[in-house]
Structure 1
Amino acid sequence: MSTATAPGRPPAPGAHLARKKRLFFPFFLPAVALYVLFLLVPTVATVVLGFTDWSGAGDTPEFTGLANYSELIASDAFRYSFLNTLLYIVVGGVGTFLLAFLFTMVLREMRGGKVVRAILFFPNIVAPIALGMFFGIILVYRPNRQGLANYLLESVGIDAVKFLAPENITWVVTGCLIWASSGFYITILMAAVDRIPPYLYEDSDIAGATPWQKFRHVTLPLTWDVVGVAGVLWTISAVKIFELVFVLAGPGTYSPPIRSWTLGVFVFDRSFGDQGAPAYGTACAAAVVMILLVSVLVVALRRLMRRDVIQY
């Protein structure tokens, strides 16, 4: 004779929620501690040191008020650095996204588009220093032993160009950035395009829409939120440009000519340059300018890109 077992008592309402609450702080507190220790504290320290004169370990920071910021305003090196950084953000961003949108329109209907997408992404897995050395070999100006670019120009009867001269380096770095960065944003935009239902493009084809009309009225509106995020990522990365400029513009000395500097190079020079004792206070002030610049641009970009989400 078998005995029936009573079914288990169902869990009390809210028991699952209580267990989740108990797990919240063990996971949350370590993340907050790491965030405060490695991001918030250094940021606050940078802001504070921006108002001091400090030469590093062994020296006591001396409060100087706004003297470091006055020095920045009066410095030709800082003006070049600030304007070059803005140029990389604006011109480099426009060029990168134009190229990314162009490839997005082409790859969407192209056989083997995923393979091409992977190939275009390849420069993003190469270290920026290696890319700088690669472009330096191609663009070098050296009579009777030219780089590839000048060799091709001379082979068709055009005089060699000093691509890496201080007056040209900013535009050369901009072109290199566009070439190296486009694959990353093509991958992001193509991932957003892959979510768009195919029937929308089929309806567009039936209506006789051109590729530009399909991009303008279907692709762009339905990927607008992703485009906004990509724009923020570009702004943050462009403000920190350092390696390409340092490698391409460096004439073999410790730092490149000031006409080619970015804010990242300026901070490096004031911290580790060959100008004598380090000026960490000035470097921190320039770093604060970088933080303010990226904050203002990101907020402005997010407001500019704000739009109601389209459901599909």
Structure 2
Amino acid sequence: MARGRDLPVTGTPHLARKQRLFWPFVLPAIVLYVLFLVGPAIVTVALSFTRWSGAGTPRFAGLDEYAQMLGSESFGYAFGNTLMYVAVGGVGTFLFAFLFAMVLRDMKASKLIRAILFFPNIVAPVAIGMFFGFVFRYNPSKQGLANFLLNLVGAPAAKFLQPESVVWVVIGALIWASAGFYITILMAAIDRIPPYLYEDADLCGATPWQKFRHITLPMIWDVVGIAGVLWTIGAVKIFEMVFVLAGPGTYLPPNKTWTLAIYVYDRSFGTQGTPEYGVACATAVVMIVLVTVLVLTLRWVMRRERLEY
């Protein structure tokens, strides 16, 4: 017996086989990650310091491409609009998700309602943009649904898709299309909360808001943080819905409606003259830095001791 206790745990055949299989399973994933993510990111950073039109050899330009980007009026619009989508769209989406999280838990048909709410998330953003384009269309001879309803109650038709106001239409469309995804994530976390906590709260006469504030939210706080990171990454990359909803869908919309992704597209493929891949790569680097800063800030703000149950 003493000899058995002296055997090292690391020497067991089962553990030795697991250790031998570690690298054969992990190495392909690491190779693909470096090849398709790390490698292109490094090349993008390198090209951001060059002037290159896609043909020939890139010429080193130092920080000139960054200076050109920062001096562009279109970049200012794109950066501001992107922050609007991240902040305002995120607040609206999560308020909507929290509201349904408070209500759905006690509903009998909650799973069916979750599936209905999730449905817009499986529709392509291009299709959603086209749908809202028809809804908010301004055309005196053939109005969209929104202006038809306004005229029905005697109100004048509104130009919802003008460059000055289309950002708010896009934010509303984003909330409508994305809320179901985050409701599903939050409800999956809520389903793990022990029912007796809510039963005790009911016995104490707690209101739905009190149960959400003191039980639901603290118990799913770590999931809310992950959902916030997912939203931030997705909102910084928004492209298709703005491209279709703010413009005709065949060429670029007005620059007042641009996002950083559209600005990258314009400098890469949408310019009338020679492509400016150096400026496009510099903007992509700004997007990477912006996502990193926002995610780290979000994680720091939402840092809290994990609750075990």
Q: TM-score, normalised by structure 2?
A: 0.96
Give the C-alpha shift of residue 144 in structure 1: 2.1
Give the C-alpha shift of residue 60 in structure 1: 1.2
Correspondence for 1:274 among 262, 271, 275: 271
Q: Using the alignment, how far apart are the partners of 2:234 and 2:174 within structure 1?
A: 11
Q: Using the alignment, how far apart are the partners of 2:296 and 2:101 within structure 1?
A: 26
Identity of aligned residues (%): 67
Give the C-alpha shift of residue 13 in structure 1: 4.7
Correspondence for 1:46 among 44, 47, 50: 44
Specify the alignment match of 1:220 in structure 2. 217
Q: Using the alignment, how far apart are the partners of 1:274 and 1:52 within structure 2?
A: 18
Residue 164 of structure 2 aligns to a residue whose secondary structure is helix
| Greater Rg over alpha carbons, structure | 1
Q: Using the alignment, how far apart are the partners of 1:235 and 1:262 within structure 2?
A: 14
Give the C-alpha shift of residue 153 in structure 1: 0.6
Specify the alignment match of 1:70 in structure 2. 67
Please, which runs of 5 or more residues in structure 2 have no aligned partner?
A: 1-9
Specify the alignment match of 1:61 in structure 2. 58
Residue 241 of structure 1 aligns to a residue whose secondary structure is coil
Q: Using the alignment, how far apart are the partners of 2:26 and 2:242 within structure 1?
A: 39
Give the C-alpha shift of residue 259 in structure 1: 0.3
Specify the alignment match of 2:285 in structure 1. 288
Q: Using the alignment, how far apart are the partners of 1:180 and 1:227 within structure 2?
A: 18
Matched letter for residue 262 of structure 1: T
Please, which runs of 5 or more residues in structure 1 have no aligned partner?
A: 1-11
Q: Using the alignment, how far apart are the partners of 1:275 and 1:210 within structure 2?
A: 60
Q: Using the alignment, how far apart are the partners of 2:145 and 2:41 within structure 1?
A: 44
Correspondence for 1:125 among 100, 103, 122: 122
Give the C-alpha shift of residue 252 in structure 1: 5.8
Deviations 1:184-232 (A, max 9, x none): 0000000000001111011111111111111000000000000000000
Matches within 5 A, 1:233-252: 233-251=230-248
User: How many pairs does the alignment contain?
Assistant: 301
Residue 167 of structure 1 aligns to a residue whose secondary structure is coil
Matched letter for residue 82 of structure 1: F
Q: Using the alignment, how far apart are the partners of 2:202 and 2:154 within structure 1?
A: 47
Matches within 5 A, 1:127-142: 127-142=124-139
